[in-house]
Structure 1
Amino acid sequence: MTENTQQQPVSTPELPTQYAPAEVEGKLYERWVERGYFEADAQSGKPPYTVVIPPPNVTGSLHLGHAFEHTLIDALTRRKRMQGHETLWQPGMDHAGIATQNVVERELAKEGKSRHDLGREAFTERVWRWKAESGGQISGQMRRLGDGVAWSRERFTMDEGLSRAVQTIFKRLYDDELIYRAERIINWCPRCLTAISDIEVEYQDDDGELVSIRYGEGDEAIVVATTRAETMLGDTAVAVHPEDGRYRHLVGREIELPLTGRRIPVVADEHVDPGFGTGAVKVTPAHDPNDFEIGRRHGLPNLAVMDERAVITAHGPFQGLDRLEARSAIVAALRAEGRIVAEKRPYTHSVGHCSRCKTTIEPRLSLQWWVKVGPLAKAAGDAVRDGRVRIHPQEMEKRYFDWVDNLHDWCISRQLWWGHRIPVWYGPDGEVVCVGPDEEPPSGEGWHQETDVLDTWFSSGLWPFSTLGWPERTESLAKFYPNSVLVTGYDILFFWVARMMMFGLYAMDGTPPFHTIALHGMVRDQFGKKMSKSFGNAVNPLDWMETYGSDALRFTLARGANPGVDVPIGEDWVQGSRNFANKIWNATRFALMNGATVEGPMPAHERLSAADRWILSRLNAVVAEVDAYYDDYQFAKLSDTLFHFAWDEVFDWYVELSKTTFLAGGEPAKVSARVLGEVLDVTLRLLHPVVPFVTETLWTALTGGESVVVADWPGAVAVPGAEAPGGFRDAAAEREIELVRRVVTEVRRFRSDQGLQPGQKVPARLTLGGTALAPHEGAIRQLLRLQPEGDSFHATATLPVAGAEVALDLSGAIDVDAERRRLAKDLAAAEKEKAQATAKLGNEAFLAKAPDDVVDKIRGRLARAEEAVERIGIQLANLPRG
């Protein structure tokens, strides 16, 4: 045990022969919650460590990406709790305006109803019922995964306290003239019937058509190209570059707009690229963001020709047509008039889609509420540039700066019923009043509240401080703000992270919401493909947890978590992690059955064997490595380090080496039992944050402690009589045991090559004199199943390794003739493969035509064949002579 860990003498309980996760995980979690291990005390004198959960949307259940993110956060907070911090992992959920409203509207559609049939109040009540059902499902999944969150502090972005925070910051921003109402071009979803922000638009390549249309006649003719022919009904100009000599004679003149009977001006604007296409562009200010800006510069009218459902409203033969129907009809009409100069079909181009319902978005002129982000975004950029906030990995900083340094004003109003209603009232004479949380709204005839609600990201942008009681200056806010770290995906760096930075700095007097932003990648399938229900590769994390246990899923996710990099995952990898949990269980069970203990002081240095000193030295090295990886958010490296130390060194080597000592009994066995107990104690505590359930069961069985959740995080293990700064290390012992491992590994490989069964015993002579291996002859023989040489010993194979010599008598152990025939057949096949690959690579005509990947494959075949020829030749040479 490390110095600060409190421990009572224990009598070792008997562990079941097999670990059954489903039988223990749920009970353990509820015990942790009942004992209050995950709660946080704002009055504690311990240093705070705060992480907010990226609030999942109440639109269903947690997916594998949530499980991944929660695993990383839980590992961080469990470790910090063990290190003595007052740790708060703040739980909660997001109301997810558009997504949640869409879900409930789809449910209503099954009943043949719409939200308008219910009315706003009844519809909102229906959504609250949906939230209660979905939220409960999410909470259950979090418990199943082992999330160590402070459940008593659970928040929801539309609960009373957070709604007060939303109204407060809206009022402050409005009074500071950072919120305003204006008519601008926005992204409009004709399906959701609401504005959506730029970052909620997903772009993908669609097949459309590019038509070139001749406007005007004779010397007034000018050709423009468009993929959205229906918008020409709203054209109010044609624009050319001021220095484009082809159109200089037309600038300032009017030309005919086909099909409309209107004449529109030709304007000169530097936005136009004279080298692209014809160098002339149609200008539709009410239906295109770039055209809107051209229109503002030239005082052009804004002519809207579509309604909110993207149906044509312009008077004429196309009125009442859907935009796509109108597109075809307008092109046909233009073709009939001889106005179509060129057509390209299909024409693949990038098209924006609503991220919620996948409908093609429509740029639309609309009166909306906006946040003036200039000063807020500058503050968010400065906080990273001056080091107050660190982005990890650092190479992600460029993406962050590219966003915040070029941020446009943020459209925050949504034409929905579910969400925070904008706290603005309009009066009968055009009055506009913004109302704070402690103010009475104006009343009387003609007064009404804004019907729009706020963008979901507006309220979730307050999450790091609204969840702690802001705008009140609560004890929790004073203790736990700012957050220590934000762990989130790089894919919402712009959606959420930038919003929190802007609002946190604004609301909290220049104090950023977190010290570090640790960005991770997205979970993908084992082939690197994005997981999606439509692709058929989506995974419900509950399925894998039920089959393999939560620890297995968590360890697989953590082991793939390199900072900022996507994480491939397959079921066979989870199965491998289940095997690791079983290995931990079986090794600890063996240790307990052989007297492994944490009772009493550590044995003095002079009483330790080389194997004891080796494993304690390696243990201290691993403690230091794991700490360094945690501090650098290198979850994959710390998990891999623990995996190989536990499996390869503790279980496969130290436990095996200890078997010989335990069989011999006496004082050395007692020493090894105490060392093994210490190593397991520290190893289980190191593993606990990532695999909490199996480590809890084993650690309490080993130590008798209350819970590993509240045990001390391990430091370096001290060895009496060999105290050293940074903990005990013994390079000589590490070299000595490494020699033992080399000998055993090489001889095991030879045995396998000769077809010997792992448990098959053979006579052997070990010549170990003059090496550090001599004291380990008994252990080497035990591990390699080597019998004493005996009187009739005849060495049929001799292996020099690590300065020693191992001679084996395989007479009678294998059928030499049969083995020689088998190896000869394998050698012939390998030589044939080598010859074929060599011939192909020597064929210049083939090399000139074959793709690089095909050539690379053949080179790989050649390398493998050459290795096989060499290996099989050595095996044949080492066979006993008849």
Structure 2
Amino acid sequence: MTETAATRPDLPATWEPGEYESDLYQQWVDAGYFTADAASDKPAFSIVIPPPNVNGSLHMGHAFEHVLMDALSRRRRMQGYEVLWLPGMDHAAIAMQAMVEKQLVADGSSRHDLGRDKFIERVWQAKEEIGGTIGEQMRRLGDSVDWSRERFTMDEGLSRAVQTVFKKMYDDGLIYRAERLVNWSPTLRTAISDIEVKYQEVDGELVSFRYGSLDDAQPHIVVATTRLETMLGDTAIAVHPDDERYRDLVGTSLEHPFLDRRIPVIADDYVDPEFGSGAVKITPAHDPNDFAMGQRHDLPMPTIMDATGTIADTGTQFDGLDRFEARKAVREALAEQGRIVKEVRPYRHSVGHSERTGEPIEPRLSLQWWVKVDTLAKAAGDAVRNGDTVVHPKSLEPRWFGWVDDMHDWCISRQLWWGHRIPIWYGPDGEEICVGPDEQAPEGYVQDTDVLDTWFSSGLWPFSTMGWPDDTADLRKFYPTSVLVTGYDILFFWVARMMMFGTYVADTFGDRDTPVPFRDLFLHGLVRDERGQKMSKSKGNGIDPLDWVQNYGADALRFTLARGARPGADLSVGESNAQDSRNFATKLFNATKFALMNGARVDELPSPSELTDADRWILGRLEEVRAEADSGLESYEFGKACEALYHFAWDEFCDWYLEIAKVQIASGAADSTAIVLGVVLDKLLRLLHPVIPFVTETLWRSVTGGESVTIAQWPTPDAEPVDAAAAGRITDMQRLVTEIRRFRSDQGLKPGQRVSARIVGLDAAGLAEQAAVIDALAKLNQPDEAFTATATVEVALSSGVTEVQIDTSGKVDVAAERKRLEKDLAAARKEQAGCEGKLGNEQFLSKAPDAVVDKIRTRLAVAIADVERIERLLDGLPVA
């Protein structure tokens, strides 16, 4: 396409991203570039956003995966796909309820004062007040999401999907109610999921106390615990079956110090006879391992705490005490009885804490709703084994199978008010029915008070957001989704749930091939600080991505994250990375501005014969980099793609071709050079656009006069083959210029200081066409009749050694040059000696492969030649 300068917008004087990014983003949205058309005949590409919590804000981990999802979406859009990137947020049941309850407490109230309906109204109000924060942050990042399809896990459509799945699973016998051990939060008064439990080392006390007689000659057993209050719920003492110390006690019972019951002594292989006394107390209702043992031995499982963590219903003096108060009181009471053995000793151990409240969680036996996962988990595993979903990187497949092949039944109920209420209703005579979305419970029935775990509704996200259970145009066009981009750290908690639900409801999609919710699963790592430490509030090393957007621009943030992205690997970032990326955007801007000032335009390229070696070289390199970047983005190797584009743009286009272009323009090749500049920039900016959309949009419009790079065609393979011969000559020219520059630097010559020089062998090297370029880049003057060389630089090129004779009289520091050459001579002699030593070693020669020996002989020949050359150069230096 040919564009006149009049149709192309002018570039600003400098690139200040904060002045342009918001307007550019709004232009894209207003133009409808991100709005997907389900009726389109284009091939579909779809991504659903991992929904962030509605009460939160985007942290660096969010920004990381948003950049990757956006890069994929923008590239596919340019490739001609109908792209749907669907945004939305999670209702974050525990987080939102905790936030609003905290507000109520500050106002001197509580949710119980309001009542359930009023409290839920209050949460909806809070959602409306803060729900726009994340959306604004996504806009500032440049997310090309379809805002017309934004969803929320508590909106009407998704609620209908939740009820539909629950009823289907209930009717299929996959959902049941049972008493099991759960993670309990006494502050929130609810069960919480494993992902909401964070383990940390704490200082505690290991207390050893005595069951049975205080007389050593009579039956007794010593046990130890860090949670002394749980002994009020002990229902057994366990020892190893082969432990001779306790063989006579197995099958007997010992009196409980505070309860009117005796505690049986049982034998179980779980017990380690080498640890402590070799005996352990068993509290089935308050410890996961004890619960399993209680099931094996059919032990009673009394719960000794209420929902607030207060000791209750034990019939002891400890009832009414908080669990930590009870811990101290029980110890004192045992001490009074003489049952504390030895001294209480400090003990540092790992304790689970609630992520939301910071309190130690309490393992607690509780009546909850559960999902039977065995068949669901098998289907999720088989989906990857069969190749229906492909995990990237493949190295994380074992982690996937480790989760789904050993999954335990899932507790889906939460004792909260905010969330999807469990659609189970109870009749006046104990009847239990599950009510679907289009059904009504009989009169007089009462609904279960619990709500569903947030992961239940978010597990339906890929298809519930597109209108399931209805047969919608979006589902027909965009489901299953093309790829899920998420962190490996929530592989089990979210990804496994989606895969289980997706495979479970696959038969509801008719005869379409939709066995999985996503075709590809791309797992990225964690974003860490520049020291490799995990970012956290407690460490104070977190980075707000919006701070970087403010200080360096969205493109700088995006390029930093994408450049460091490698499948499954963590990346470390710091301020210097953002500065480097900002400098890259500035470099690109300045290069484009220079090109436009010199007439750069997009037009049909002249025939190869009309182009210079440098033209053909840069076009060939562009094609090679296009293929490399294309391959990287296709295989989720974002880092490789960005590295290739960065080094081409900075090292080859800006540092070499632009300098060559100045010479070509001055020598009369302005028209063809302008076209090459325009063509290269057009394609380079399109290749960079998915990662750095703002600066590339501004530059591409100015270069091409086109509407928007957002909807420009993605670069395709060039029909013109890469000119390897031209590339080889330019490589030789670069090597020659680099060596001359190195010599100049060693001599302390100023960068702009010109010296006279004669290059011997330029024609033989095929570089005659580059003579003017070499002179310009190396700051050389053609010699006059009185020219006398004072120094010689020999450069090994592909065609042989080329000699550069330079007159540095009055300009060269002879002592510095002698020092440089002596350093090179020492290195060459060391290489020579090393090679001679190996070739003189008969043992080495008898064992080394012929290819290795030949390589060393070649190295020796090169070293000998270098020694002779450098000695000759030293001899030619003037006497100081």
Tell me the equivalent position of 1:210.
Answer: 206
- Among residues 701, 723, 734, which one is paired with 1:730 in the alignment? 723
In structure 2, how many angstroms separate the alpha carbons of the residues matched to 1:809 and 1:663? 26
In structure 2, how many angstroms separate the alpha carbons of the residues matched to 1:874 and 1:352? 74
Kindly tell me: are residues 266 and 465 of structure 1, through their superposed partners in 2, closer, same or farther at Cα, counting changes over 3 Å?
same
Tell me the equivalent position of 1:518.
Answer: 522
User: Does the 8 Å CA contact 1:55/1:93 hold for their aligned counterparts?
Assistant: yes
Tell me the equivalent position of 1:308.
Answer: 307
Residue type of the partner of 1:535? Answer: K
Residue type of the partner of 2:334? Answer: L
Tell me the equivalent position of 1:859.
Answer: none
In structure 2, how many angstroms separate the alpha carbons of the residues matched to 1:451 and 1:181? 14
Tell me the equivalent position of 1:701.
Answer: 702
Kindly tell me: are residues 879 and 571 of structure 1, through their superposed partners in 2, closer, same or farther at Cα, counting changes over 3 Å?
farther
In structure 2, how many angstroms separate the alpha carbons of the residues matched to 1:554 and 1:716? 26
User: Does the 8 Å CA contact 1:380/1:505 hold for their aligned counterparts?
Assistant: yes
User: Does the 8 Å CA contact 2:175/2:369 hold for their aligned counterparts?
Assistant: yes
- Among residues 547, 556, 559, which one is paired with 2:563 in the alignment? 559
Tell me the equivalent position of 1:843.
Answer: none
Kindly tell me: are residues 168 and 22 of structure 1, through their superposed partners in 2, closer, same or farther at Cα, counting changes over 3 Å?
same
Tell me the equivalent position of 1:486.
Answer: 484
Divergent runs of 4+, >6 A: 872-880
User: Does the 8 Å CA contact 2:746/2:817 hold for their aligned counterparts?
Assistant: no
Gaps in structure 1 of 5+ consecutive residues: 1-5, 720-727, 831-869
- Among residues 590, 593, 601, which one is paired with 1:589 in the alignment? 593
Tell me the equivalent position of 1:796.
Answer: 790
User: Does the 8 Å CA contact 1:754/1:875 hold for their aligned counterparts?
Assistant: no
In structure 1, how many angstroms separate the alpha carbons of the residues matched to 2:107 and 2:750? 68
Kindly tell me: are residues 794 and 47 of structure 1, through their superposed partners in 2, closer, same or farther at Cα, counting changes over 3 Å?
same
In structure 2, how many angstroms separate the alpha carbons of the residues matched to 1:622 and 1:820? 39
1:565, distance to aligned residue in structure 2 (A)? 1.0
Residue type of the partner of 1:78? Answer: R
Structure 1 position 766 matched with structure 2 position 755: no
Tell me the equivalent position of 1:810.
Answer: 808
User: Does the 8 Å CA contact 1:753/1:875 hold for their aligned counterparts?
Assistant: no
1:530, distance to aligned residue in structure 2 (A)? 1.4
User: Does the 8 Å CA contact 2:309/2:322 hold for their aligned counterparts?
Assistant: yes
Q: What SS class does the counterpart of residue 340 from structure 1 fall into? A: coil
- Among residues 756, 778, 786, which one is paired with 2:749 in the alignment? 756
Kindly tell me: are residues 336 and 39 of structure 1, through their superposed partners in 2, closer, same or farther at Cα, counting changes over 3 Å?
same
User: Does the 8 Å CA contact 1:524/1:568 hold for their aligned counterparts?
Assistant: yes
1:875, distance to aligned residue in structure 2 (A)? 12
Tell me the equivalent position of 1:354.
Answer: 354
In structure 2, how many angstroms separate the alpha carbons of the residues matched to 1:360 and 1:874? 78
Tell me the equivalent position of 1:716.
Answer: 717
In structure 2, how many angstroms separate the alpha carbons of the residues matched to 1:647 and 1:620? 16
Tell me the equivalent position of 2:399.
Answer: 399
1:816, distance to aligned residue in structure 2 (A)? 6.1
Residue type of the partner of 1:610? Answer: D
1:58, distance to aligned residue in structure 2 (A)? 1.1
Q: Identity percentage over the alignment?
A: 62
Give CA deviations for 1:297-348 in whole Å, capped at 9, x if unaligned.
Answer: 3332222211112122233232222222221222232233222224563212
Kindly tell me: are residues 185 and 874 of structure 1, through their superposed partners in 2, closer, same or farther at Cα, counting changes over 3 Å?
farther
Residue type of the partner of 1:427? Answer: G
Tell me the equivalent position of 2:640.
Answer: 637
User: Does the 8 Å CA contact 2:747/2:817 hold for their aligned counterparts?
Assistant: no
Tell me the equivalent position of 2:184.
Answer: 188
Kindly tell me: are residues 255 and 789 of structure 1, through their superposed partners in 2, closer, same or farther at Cα, counting changes over 3 Å?
same
In structure 1, how many angstroms separate the alpha carbons of the residues matched to 2:877 and 2:457? 75
Which stretch of the first structure deviates more once superposed, 709-718 or 364-373? 709-718
User: Does the 8 Å CA contact 1:811/1:880 hold for their aligned counterparts?
Assistant: no
User: Does the 8 Å CA contact 2:205/2:345 hold for their aligned counterparts?
Assistant: yes
User: Does the 8 Å CA contact 2:11/2:698 hold for their aligned counterparts?
Assistant: no
1:815, distance to aligned residue in structure 2 (A)? 6.5
1:618, distance to aligned residue in structure 2 (A)? 0.9
Structure 1 position 612 matched with structure 2 position 608: no
C-alpha RMSD of the superposition: 2.4
If the length of structure 2 is used for normalisation, what is the TM-score? 0.90
1:663, distance to aligned residue in structure 2 (A)? 0.8
User: Does the 8 Å CA contact 2:79/2:713 hold for their aligned counterparts?
Assistant: yes
In structure 1, how many angstroms separate the alpha carbons of the residues matched to 2:409 and 2:178? 11
Tell me the equivalent position of 1:538.
Answer: 542
Residue type of the partner of 1:625? Answer: E
Which stretch of the first structure deviates more once superposed, 245-254 or 372-381? 245-254
Structure 1 position 120 matched with structure 2 position 113: no
Give CA deviations for 1:336-379 in whole Å, capped at 9, x if unaligned.
Answer: 32222245632122211112222111011111010111110010
Residue type of the partner of 2:696? Answer: T
Tell me the equivalent position of 1:178.
Answer: 174
Q: What SS class does the counterpart of residue 183 from structure 1 fall into? A: strand
Tell me the equivalent position of 2:671.
Answer: 670
In structure 2, how many angstroms separate the alpha carbons of the residues matched to 1:343 and 1:179? 49
Q: What SS class does the counterpart of residue 341 from structure 1 fall into? A: coil
User: Does the 8 Å CA contact 1:310/1:322 hold for their aligned counterparts?
Assistant: yes
User: Does the 8 Å CA contact 1:413/1:454 hold for their aligned counterparts?
Assistant: yes
User: Does the 8 Å CA contact 1:562/1:634 hold for their aligned counterparts?
Assistant: yes
Which stretch of the first structure deviates more once superposed, 405-414 or 264-273? 264-273
In structure 1, how many angstroms separate the alpha carbons of the residues matched to 2:736 and 2:538? 53
Which stretch of the first structure deviates more once superposed, 475-484 or 255-264? 255-264
Structure 1 position 336 matched with structure 2 position 340: no
Give CA deviations for 1:575-625 in whole Å, capped at 9, x if unaligned.
Answer: 1111100111111111111111112x2211211211111111111111111
Kindly tell me: are residues 754 and 111 of structure 1, through their superposed partners in 2, closer, same or farther at Cα, counting changes over 3 Å?
farther
In structure 2, how many angstroms separate the alpha carbons of the residues matched to 1:250 and 1:323? 31
If the length of structure 1 is used for normalisation, what is the TM-score? 0.90
Tell me the equivalent position of 1:836.
Answer: none
In structure 2, how many angstroms separate the alpha carbons of the residues matched to 1:353 and 1:783? 64
Tell me the equivalent position of 1:856.
Answer: none
Tell me the equivalent position of 1:289.
Answer: 288
1:880, distance to aligned residue in structure 2 (A)? 6.3
Residue type of the partner of 1:43? Answer: A
Q: What SS class does the counterpart of residue 519 from structure 2 fall into? A: strand
Give CA deviations for 1:661-695 in whole Å, capped at 9, x if unaligned.
Answer: 10112xx3222221221111111100000000111
In structure 1, how many angstroms separate the alpha carbons of the residues matched to 2:393 and 2:145? 26
Q: What SS class does the counterpart of residue 333 from structure 2 fall into? A: helix
Structure 1 position 93 matched with structure 2 position 51: no
User: Does the 8 Å CA contact 1:10/1:703 hold for their aligned counterparts?
Assistant: no
User: Does the 8 Å CA contact 2:427/2:446 hold for their aligned counterparts?
Assistant: yes
Q: How many residues align?
A: 820
Tell me the equivalent position of 1:438.
Answer: 438
- Among residues 602, 605, 623, which one is paired with 2:605 in the alignment? 602
